[in-house]
């Protein structure tokens, strides 16, 4: 037994001291781009992302729709592996085959919904318009559109149905799935539309093209795309069926893989990494983890990991620390691992990026994670709150929530992630709700603005510079308590905090 003379610390225990802000520190000059996979020091990583945020490998988070949305804003998502090989490969293929500019309809209602219900939904999502479909789904028969301008409390009873105020499909401009994006945009401008529904021969809604996507495209110029201009997507794998799963995912077009395990410091992971190298050389890239110390980083880097994921026990839905007594505060874990990463780079000339996974409870924690040296961040709770997350929207006591559950909960039963050989014998995660926050695009814009604002205060124009020059101080227990109280007073359901 060995007791280390170190306290396990989390992000909320630190604050950044401002450095000199120089004239070149302006939001448009801040480069948040990050390497995702291993590369020679001084050379570019074969996979870089402009927005260093990635979606967690979780049922409640990852889906083709989420992967497309995250890639559109310059990040990356991983399709979860707690499903059959065929189902996962199909999700990967769906992302690769997606037509840019055509998106899934976010807000949909049945014609029998009340004006009160649609009003609350539009307000919570900060949206102006919703599709009305026969079954209220994004792929139901399109019956009409309803916007905030179609009803008003002083003129209409909010108990009336959506059907009574919607603009019926016969009065709408719609287009067939064969239309190209530039034709769709021309139609939007010529006919002064905010939204163009794309409807199949059977009358089902297939997708929508939005006028505001023009602006989004201008804002997020650096989408994460492959050489053929398809969106990039990652996929989770495990150390059990990898010999069958990996070839299927590669065939489906996955751009990068990641071993999905709560504790990755294992011979099983090294076996998978070596197998990938021997089968594919450098043509298939694969990350490993999760780990919480430099020794484990070194082990996986030596075995060929293309990036290493850090975090045990810090996830918002995680009860691993209670159940197994293992883990480490995310700040301490990162500090140790990035030291090992930098030493490894100096010794071997190979840079192996570090992904900080879980435990981001508010946006300021993201800046702290970058200050601690993370190359990119994986998040579950953050993305699970958005329209694009696969779980249904739930209304409770007048507030909207999205369901969010851990991979180690009895709902997901991801036994391969938790190395439980007899199926899931005990839980390592919980099943709950997160406050609904609306569209991913709007929220990510605000989050990135906050990270850039922190970097400006700290006088940095790139993540590398931020990591090298950031000055962190510990906060006292007293001021931490005070801050926690203030944060809980200020919190609102729609904010990322
Ligand atoms: P969050 O961003 O704090 O919600 O954490 C998400 C991360 O928690 C994921 O990327 C996983 O690494 C981890 N995770 C997912 N499900 C579970 C679970 O059931 N128990 C423990 N950790 C989990």
Q: pLDDT at residue 422 above 70?
A: no
- With cut-offs at 50, 70 and 90, classify the pLDDT of residue 296: very high
DSSP code per residue over 70-87: HHHTT-EEEE-SSS-HHH
Residue 213 Cβ contacting ligand 1 at under 6 Å = no
Give dist(CA 206, CA 14) in Å, integer.
47
pLDDT of residue 167: 95
pLDDT of residue 5: 84
Average pLDDT value for residue range 364-387 = 97
* Coil, helix or strand at residue 126: coil
Q: State yes or no: is 458 an active-site residue.
A: no
Residue 356 Cβ contacting ligand 1 at under 6 Å = no
pLDDT of residue 226: 92
Ligand 1 probe mutation, 384, 407, 419, most atoms within 8 A of CB: 407
Q: pLDDT at residue 496 above 50?
A: no
Per-residue pLDDT tens for 61-95? 999 999 999 999 999 999 999 999 999 999 999 99
Give dist(CA 374, CA 212) in Å, integer.
32
**Chain-wide mean pLDDT for the chain?**
92
Q: Which residue has the tokens 């603009």?
A: 167
Q: Are the C-beta atoms of residues 184 and 196 closer than 8 Å to each other?
A: yes
Lowest mean pLDDT among 222-231, 253-262, 302-311: 222-231
298 to 40, 48, 178, 486: CA distances (angstroms): 16, 22, 51, 40
- With cut-offs at 50, 70 and 90, classify the pLDDT of residue 295: very high
Nearest C-alpha neighbor of 331 from the set 296, 363, 358? 358
Q: Are the C-beta atoms of residues 370 and 451 closer than 8 Å to each other?
A: yes
Per-residue pLDDT tens for 23-46? 999 999 999 999 999 999 999 999
Residues 65, 245, 258, 318: which is the catalytic one? Answer: 318
pLDDT of residue 204: 96
- With cut-offs at 50, 70 and 90, classify the pLDDT of residue 106: confident
Residue 184 Cβ contacting ligand 1 at under 6 Å = no
Lowest mean pLDDT among 71-80, 176-185, 272-281, 445-454: 176-185
Residue 313 Cβ contacting ligand 1 at under 6 Å = no
The backbone region for 154, taken as left when phi is positive above 0, alpha when psi lies in -120 to 50, beta otherwise, is: alpha
Helix 242-252 / helix 85-96 crossing angle, nearest 10 deg: 20
Lowest mean pLDDT among 122-126, 463-467, 482-486: 482-486
Ligand 1 probe mutation, 58, 403, 417, 434, most atoms within 8 A of CB: 58
pLDDT of residue 479: 73
Q: What is the number of helices (H) and of strands (E) in the chain? A: 15, 23
Q: State yes or no: is 277 an active-site residue.
A: no
Q: pLDDT at residue 495 above 50?
A: no
Lowest mean pLDDT among 226-235, 440-449, 473-482: 473-482
Average pLDDT value for residue range 406-425 = 80
Residue 388 Cβ contacting ligand 1 at under 6 Å = no
pLDDT of residue 177: 92
- With cut-offs at 50, 70 and 90, classify the pLDDT of residue 256: very high
Give dist(CA 475, CA 478) in Å, integer.
8
Q: Look up the pTM and report it.
A: 0.88
- Chain centroid, CA 271 distance in Å: 28
Q: pLDDT at residue 415 above 90?
A: no
Nearest C-alpha neighbor of 412 from the set 288, 286, 260? 260
The single-letter DSSP state of residue 164 is G
pLDDT of residue 494: 43
Ligand 1 probe mutation, 291, 358, 383, most atoms within 8 A of CB: 358
Give dist(CA 133, CA 186) in Å, integer.
25
- With cut-offs at 50, 70 and 90, classify the pLDDT of residue 497: very low
Q: What ranges in 312-439 are assigned the alpha helix state H?
A: 320-324, 330-348, 363-371, 381-384
Average pLDDT value for residue range 161-172 = 95
Q: pLDDT at residue 116 above 70?
A: yes
Per-residue pLDDT tens for 186-224? 999 899 998 999 999 999 999 999 887 777 777 777 899
Per-residue pLDDT tens for 429-458? 888 999 999 999 999 999 999 999 999 999
Give dist(CA 190, CA 210) in Å, integer.
14
- Dihedral sign (CA 147, 151, 152, 158): negative
Give dist(CA 42, CA 72) in Å, integer.
27
């Amino acid at each position: 037994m060995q007791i280390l003379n170190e306290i396990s610390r989390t992000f909320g225990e630190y604050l950044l001291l401002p450095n000199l802000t120089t004239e070149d520190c302006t939001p448009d000059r801040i480069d948040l781009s990050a390497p995702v996979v291993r590369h020679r020091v001084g050379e570019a990583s074969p996979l870089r992302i402009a927005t260093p945020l990635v979606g967690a490998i979780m049922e409640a988070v990852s889906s083709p729709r989420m992967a497309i949305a995250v890639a559109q804003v310059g990040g990356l998502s991983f399709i979860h592996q707690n499903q059959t090989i065929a189902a996962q490969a199909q999700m990967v293929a769906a992302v690769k085959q997606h037509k840019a500019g055509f998106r899934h309809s976010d807000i949909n209602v049945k014609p029998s919904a009340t004006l009160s219900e649609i009003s609350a939904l539009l307000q919570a999502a900060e949206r102006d318009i919703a599709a009305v479909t026969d079954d209220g789904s994004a792929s139901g028969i399109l019956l009409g559109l309803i916007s905030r301008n179609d009803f008003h409390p002083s003129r209409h009873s909010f108990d009336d149905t959506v059907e009574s105020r919607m603009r019926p499909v016969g009065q709408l401009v719609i287009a067939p799935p064969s239309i190209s994006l530039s034709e769709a945009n021309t139609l939007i401008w010529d006919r002064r539309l905010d939204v163009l529904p794309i409807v199949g021969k059977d009358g089902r809604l297939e997708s929508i093209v939005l006028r505001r996507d023009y602006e989004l495209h201008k804002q997020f110029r650096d989408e994460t795309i492959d050489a053929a201009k398809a969106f990039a997507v990652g996929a989770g794998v495990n150390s059990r069926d990898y010999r069958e799963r990996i070839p299927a995912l590669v065939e489906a077009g996955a751009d990068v893989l990641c071993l999905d395990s709560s504790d990755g410091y294992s011979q099983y992971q090294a076996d998978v990494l070596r197998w990938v190298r021997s089968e594919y050389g450098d043509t298939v890239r694969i990350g490993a983890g999760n780990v919480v110390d430099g020794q484990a980083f070194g082990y996986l880097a030596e075995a060929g990991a293309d990036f290493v994921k850090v975090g045990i026990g810090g996830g918002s839905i995680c009860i691993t620390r209670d159940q197994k007594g293992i883990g480490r505060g995310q700040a301490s874990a990162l500090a140790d691992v990035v030291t090992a990463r930098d030493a490894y780079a100096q010794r071997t000339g190979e840079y192996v990026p570090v992904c900080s996974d879980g435990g981001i409870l508010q946006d300021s924690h993201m800046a702290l994670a970058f200050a601690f040296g993370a190359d990119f961040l994986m998040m579950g709770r953050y993305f699970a709150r958005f329209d694009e997350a696969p779980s249904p929207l739930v209304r409770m006591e007048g507030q909207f929530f999205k369901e969010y559950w851990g991979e180690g909960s009895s709902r997901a039963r991801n036994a391969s992630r938790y190395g439980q050989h007899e199926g899931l014998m005990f839980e390592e995660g919980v099943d709950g709700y997160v406050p609904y926050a609306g569209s991913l695009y709007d929220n990510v814009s605000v989050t990135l603005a906050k990270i850039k604002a922190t970097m400006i205060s700290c006088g940095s124009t790139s993540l590398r510079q931020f990591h090298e020059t950031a000055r962190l101080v510990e906060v006292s227990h007293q001021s931490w308590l005070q801050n926690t109280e203030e944060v809980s007073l200020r919190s609102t359901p729609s904010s990322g905090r």
